[in-house]
Structure 1
């Protein structure tokens, strides 16, 4: 039997990018959650997936959304990642929200974003696997570096 601590430690050896998935709650308010499990699934049709812990504070809200955005964070957005990573105990970053697309809230200052229609949700142990079909996207040039997560810490690229 594999214990969860050992599994988590091994998975921390796999560097990932950081995203914030955003949407709207039942009252129409913007919501978001930090995710490092984004995966490209298909080019035709364009599909992505992310995994959301059933214990996550935003899990109930994201079960209900039909449309969401994936915001790819830049190296300077560690504060944004921390803000959406827990129950909002970290200070709210200034100029957080940008202009919505397809009525989905987006974040300012990201490397890019994609708006998705929820395609399907699968059960995956203590997580839900949420599959989305990309309906609109935008990439913001190549001058900024991504925010990374490695060995349970935020990291930055160091040259090429």
Structure 2
């Protein structure tokens, strides 16, 4: 049998950017979660992919609404990260930081490195996760020389981009 714990240790050694993925549920409530599994797919048309745990509280809302916003986090977003990483704080997640809906209505974090507002084009189920592809409809850019927030060795760390 494969050692799942060992696999997780190995994957923690890969530095990943930290994002908050947001969406809107059928009742108009904002939902969101922290993610490191975000990747560009195509520049024409601009398309990205995100990986969403099927047991996550935002999974069904995201697939039903067919819209999401990927917010790339900077080092100054650590307080927002704290409110999103603990499921017990779910009801207060959007009280930290300043949020505003952009084109699709999914909330964008004001001051993030970039926010990519997307419409779902397709999705694939793989084991415990759903890979969701989204075509970018709107982009908001933050500071030109930001400090990016990365996840490495089980910790959030800042990385200066010059």
Q: Do the two structures share a fold, i.e. TM-score over 0.5?
A: yes
Q: Which residue of 1 aligns with 2:132?
A: 130
CA RMSD of aligned residues (A): 2.0
Give 5+ residue unaligned stretches, structure 1. Answer: none
Give 5+ residue unaligned stretches, structure 2. Answer: none
Normalising by structure 2, what TM-score?
0.89
Normalising by structure 1, what TM-score?
0.90
Q: Which has the higher helix share?
A: 2
1:112–1:140 Cα contact (<8 Å) kept? yes
Please give the alpha-carbon distance, in whole angstroms, between the structure 2 residues aligned to 1:59 and 1:86. Answer: 16
Please give the alpha-carbon distance, in whole angstroms, between the structure 2 residues aligned to 1:108 and 1:122. Answer: 30
Total equivalences in the alignment: 160
Q: Which has the higher strand share?
A: 2
Q: Cα distance, 1:139 vs. partner?
A: 1.5
Comparing 88-97 with 72-81, greater Cα deviation is found at 88-97
- Structure 1 runs of 4+ with >3 Å offset: 90-95
Q: Which residue of 2 aligns with 1:87?
A: 87
Question: What SS does the corresponding residue of 2:57 show, helix, strand or coil?
Answer: coil
Match of 1:106 among 102, 105, 108: 108
Q: Cα distance, 1:89 vs. partner?
A: 2.6
1:75–1:145 Cα contact (<8 Å) kept? yes
1:95–1:108 Cα contact (<8 Å) kept? no
Q: Cα distance, 1:129 vs. partner?
A: 0.4
